[in-house]
Chains A and B, each alone.
Chain A
Amino acid sequence: MILDAKIPQGPLAEKWSKHKFNLKLVNPANKRKYNVIVVGTGLAGASAAASLAELGYNVTAFCFQDSPRRAHSIAAQGGINAAKNYRNDGDSVYRLFYDTIKGGDYRAREGNVYRLAEVSVNIIDQCVAQGVPFAREYGGLLDNRSFGGAQVSRTFYARGQTGQQLLLGAFSALNRQIHEGKVKMYTRTEMLDVVVVDGHARGIVTRNLKTGAIETHAAHAVLLCTGGYSNVFYLSTNAIGSNVTAAWRAHKRGAYFANPCYTQIHPTCIPVTGTHQSKLTLMSESLRNDGRVWAPKTREVAEKLRKGEIKIENVKEEDRDYFLERKYPSFGNLVPRDVASRNAKEMVDDGRGVGGSGIAVFLDFRDAIERLGEETVKAKYGNLFDMYYQITDENPYKQPMRIYPAVHYTMGGLWVDYNLSTNIPGLYALGEANFSDHGANRLGASALMQGLADGYFVIPYTLGDYLATIGPKPVDKNHPAFEQTKKDVEAYVAKLLALKGNKTVVEYHRELGHIMWEYCGMARSEEGLIKARGLIQALKDDFWKNAIVVGQNEEINASLERAGRVADFIELGALMVEDALSRRESCGGHFRVESQTEEGEALRHDDEFAYVAAWEFKGENQPEELHKEELVYENVKLTQRSYK
């Protein structure tokens, strides 16, 4: 199969406007004849559900949490990018496009990224109109801050809780449509399969997490807005419930999974303290605006610090290595995330890590507090400092934060074309669940932008074209595919419940996480990946023999829910390893040790690997088939990224 991304022809700046004009429209009176399913209610899902309902479609939305507002977009801290150029500092749509393409290490589509930059300005307008309380200056206008990978200030923010405020905006729009009866909302409900009828997605199968009822839902189109898969690493900054199940089950029904090995390791997280740890907490990238990252210059000083023989404040200036400022003088502490993370790892690997475990570097606010005063620093980052204090019992106003990289975001996801359609007609993927806009590395403050762009400003146009094409004839829920898919799900649930071994699913999840972090994390090698392949297969075999799942289906059963998610993560982990193996180059978050410059930076091989890797499921325990979508660059020149 040839993957057609359906990027419109013509000059970059005109693609989206021309495309919007060429898309078919659904007559206002006909819109109410269409049903649309939206799975997930984060930024992408809530904004899509609300916008489509406003247009007149009947929307049914689903989330596994007890309220749509709890989707994990709520936890995004730092901000949202938009090419408003309110600072008069040289920003433009083209610059945001360029920064994003470059930040993604030239592995994203030009057309998609340009559209993202183009609609970014509308997002801010929309959110303000909804009452999102962005940070403002005394003149009453919006404030901005800087973020990694850019030399302009284009990030809009709401203290350290930007994701929360944006999601509450989308949630309020969703609530309005629920109130008006245009959205039917199912909470505590998990999607477990897609119903495919004659090659088109026509519904889903869900499990009611309160009663265990397994039900089918029919619609003219299904939108997966189900987030990313960072929890394949067990420890990540994702919520405990964040999972890949919806996307993975869609994959097993034929939807291609693209670039699964592109994962983002965020440089500034609170380090791990012990095996009991259930998740990692991010410290926003915005902290790198004022915080300085350093490690001791020598192993001797580092060791003394670890043993508590000297205090941090007594480490002399000449014994501190501000390694990002030293190596990247023009971007300094604000280099992109992949670069910052790898450098922190280098320090630790070199024996210069700090903290009890030695697996951390410092993020220091001493100079910022001296320069700006504690009050100003508190106003900018107060909630982040409080959170750090709460978790570590160390006061970041008095001593530097200890930070270390952690898995935070996944650039890979379901393959979609320019219209956000997967290769299964009628099945769409939005937000982090798709692969489309961030290439091999996402810039800070771009996830919120993409989720809302997809939901507010892309899908309302592109979905109409598909719906107009298929026509408003009601979906026949009596088609045998519905009953068959439901039976498949019931059989799978029964298979999980039959597991009565001696090891908990959390234990399997933890082991999977170790394998992924060790061999498919910040640095990957052919040897390690081949080893991981065997380890994951063994883990999978063992899971289906020795895992324990307690209780039954017809009740609230967290053990069963977790088992299904972990089983899917194990399969996804195997695919990530295959993808990482086949991409014998380094790019963005994917660092193959065999492919680096003399200075240890990621070295791409554009002649061989300037493509999107889209994987096709070929059956249980069969190797997946790789399809390549060539990436065409008509506007930017592919260069070795440099942040020096």
Chain B
Amino acid sequence: MSNANGTMNLTLKVWRQKNAQTAGKFVTYKAENISPDMSFLEMLDVVNESLILAKDEPIHFDHDCREGICGMCSLYINGRPHGPKRAITTCQLHMRSFSDGETITIEPWRAAAFPVVKDLATDRSAFDRIQQAGGYISVNTGGVPDANEIPIPKVIADEAFNSATCIQCGACVAACKNASAMLFTSAKITQLALLPQGQPERYRRVQSMVAQMDAEGFGSCTNTGACEAECPKEITLTNIARMNFDFFSAKLFREEEVHEVNHG
């Protein structure tokens, strides 16, 4: 909601922190003459331009594609990852979702496994290491069958697709009181576990990815569902259930048995 001039004046309380080693604090800024058509990041651009003109240090935040798909932007706005609206990333949030005169609090993701890099940017490389632990199907380039030799029921392909839409932004971790990475990890595991191509490595994959997730220092899942509620891509808790099923299957049976037990 804008004022009579069609613009908005806002107060920002922004987390400033030089790096992971130093303590951070909130600093207050004014954002003036903001158009309701601006995206949230464009509003920050305006603030940063004025800081640079005053030879001050601009507020650092991660961002890149600005169309909700790269997963780089990661702001905790008024106590919620990616702000007040459902199913969008920070870069898709527009100022029309705020009111003239409002005070907006902006923080980085808060999680031990995501140390602050600077100001609002965090180090999410733990997610990459979880993927590296097994988030793939081991095929080399070339020598694969014709694409249509692997028929997949449409419902299964669609379900796998839903899991595959995860953008690795980390909102699930930021939303979770335990800073658990179960939703993220389970989305990749589920995508591959649903597809016929993913079967040969299915039970090894779940064990190695879960082990890496634990090693990174993410918390445990207590099924509160905050991750699902805040996920910009609406990844569901069903993924966690599927991952748990595969994980326990892998623990209960030897590898040569588990395929037969679950699929025989």
A51 closest partner in B (C-beta): B141
A278 interface hit (Cβ, 8 Å)? yes
**Are A172 and B141 touching (Cβ within 8 A)?**
no
Partner of B69, one of A164, A171, A390, A559: A164
A559 and B52 in contact (CB under 8 A), knowing A66-B72, A69-B168? yes
Bound-state Cα–Cα, A165 to B123, Å: 24
**Are B64 and A276 touching (Cβ within 8 A)?**
no
A179 closest partner in B (C-beta): B132
**Are B132 and A175 touching (Cβ within 8 A)?**
yes
Size bracket, chain B contacts: 35 or more
Neighbouring A residues of B167 by C-beta, 8 Å: 164
Neighbouring A residues of B135 by C-beta, 8 Å: 172, 175
Partner of A130, one of B92, B127, B197: B197
Neighbouring B residues of A281 by C-beta, 8 Å: 66-67
Please provide the chain B residues from 51 to 99 with a CB less than 8 Å away from any CB of chain A in the complex.
52-53, 55-58, 60, 62-72, 87-88, 92, 94, 96
Give min CB distance, B249 to chain A, whole Å: 20
A281 closest partner in B (C-beta): B67
**Are B141 and A128 touching (Cβ within 8 A)?**
no
Bound-state Cα–Cα, A255 to B123, Å: 35
A210 and B94 in contact (CB under 8 A), knowing A74-B69, A129-B144, A133-B164? no
Most buried by B among A47, A128, A391, A506: A128
A137 interface hit (Cβ, 8 Å)? yes
One of B148-156, B177-185, B213-221, B237-245 at the interface: B148-156
Please report the total number of A residues contacting B with Cβ < 8 Å.
82
B160 interface hit (Cβ, 8 Å)? yes
**Are B141 and A75 touching (Cβ within 8 A)?**
no
Please provide the chain A residues from 453 to 477 with a CB less than 8 Å away from any CB of chain B in the complex.
456-457, 460
Partner of B70, one of A175, A239, A387, A548: A239
**Are A129 and B52 touching (Cβ within 8 A)?**
no
**Are A130 and B45 touching (Cβ within 8 A)?**
no
**Are B52 and A504 touching (Cβ within 8 A)?**
yes
Neighbouring B residues of A387 by C-beta, 8 Å: 67-68, 92
Please provide the chain B residues from 23 to 68 with a CB less than 8 Å away from any CB of chain A in the complex.
35, 37-39, 41-42, 45-46, 49, 52-53, 55-58, 60, 62-68
A390 and B88 in contact (CB under 8 A), knowing A133-B157, A504-B52, A506-B49? yes
**Are A54 and B125 touching (Cβ within 8 A)?**
no
Neighbouring A residues of B63 by C-beta, 8 Å: 240
Q: Contact flags (1/0) for B164-195 with A, using CB distance below 8 Å?
A: 11011000000000000000000000011001
Partner of A548, one of B55, B72, B123, B125: B55
A125 interface hit (Cβ, 8 Å)? yes
B15 interface hit (Cβ, 8 Å)? no
Give min CB distance, A389 to chain B, whole Å: 10
A122 interface hit (Cβ, 8 Å)? yes
**Are A50 and B192 touching (Cβ within 8 A)?**
no
Bound-state Cα–Cα, A124 to B150, Å: 12
**Are B66 and A140 touching (Cβ within 8 A)?**
no
